[in-house]
Amino acid sequence: MSLIVFPAIDLKAGQVVRLAEGDMDRATVYGDDPAAQAMLFAEAGAGHLHVVDLDGAFAGESRNGDAVRAIVGRFPGHVQLGGGIRTPQSVEGWFAAGVARVVIGTAALENPQFVRDMAAAFPGGIVVAVDARDGMVATKGWADVSTTSAVDLARRFEDAGVAALLFTDVGRDGLLKGCNVEATVDLARAVSIPVIASGGVKGIAEIHVLALHNRDGIEGVITGRALYDGRLDLAAALSVAAAA
């Protein structure tokens, strides 16, 4: 299967935003109609979408539910959702609402059994977020840095039945510094679980390089600010990903 390109929609107070390094005080607003943005991505050819409830990530529970439901209602493809999903009830609720995959971050570090239980209950539907700053796992909206390495966290879920690992280099996210391809590939090679790359993608060249590492276990790539700033054309990215 070719590399999946996930355009990102990050939600803050119902608006489409991008943060710099996960800092809520460094948000750039790109629109106030998330569902319309989702449709623009669909019209460019996207079959997958990555949505993050930023307020939820910090609060520990959904804060942009209406916006997420509006996106799911209009986007014709698969929606992957993260941000504040830390209870069985929230996981079940989002699958019932039509979300294709749920991303679990903070709870994966604090309660690995929760991830295992959800992966068993929803086969193919659970993604574990491995958010790292200088190689160490960051949690609670990236506000806290743990003493657990990204690779160690990933390996805990080798036999858990999770669909993928979403690896983000927090220090690059939203800065257009370039995706940390080396660390992403290293993680993919260290585990048998497919890995999705995220954080800092700035152009088509990285899409091509990541697509070439599809055989190493890189399943997909998430891109946000580069699309919104016009540095990356989504249709071109999808074409490059499919051709590699």
Counts for the chain of helices (H) and strands (E), in that order: 11, 12
Torsion sign over Cα 138, 61, 17, 126 = positive
**10 classed as catalytic:** yes
Phi first, then psi, for residue 99 (nearest 5°) are -70, 140
Confirm if 101 and 125 have CB atoms less than 8 A apart. yes
Angstrom distances, CA of residue 30 to CA of 27, 154, 218, 230: 10, 33, 28, 12
Q: Which two tokens stand for residue 95?
A: 């699958």
Q: Is 45 left (phi over 0), alpha (psi -120 to 50) or beta?
A: left
Q: Which two tokens stand for residue 144?
A: 């806290």
Catalytic site residue from 53, 55, 131, 173: 131
**173 classed as catalytic:** no
- Of residues 21, 10, 142, the one with CA closest to residue 82: 10
Query: What is the number of alpha carbons within 13 Å of residue 187 lying toward its C-beta?
Result: 35
Residue found by looking up tokens 């998430």 in the block: 222
Q: How far is CA 197 from the centre of its chain?
A: 8
Q: List active site positions.
A: 10, 131
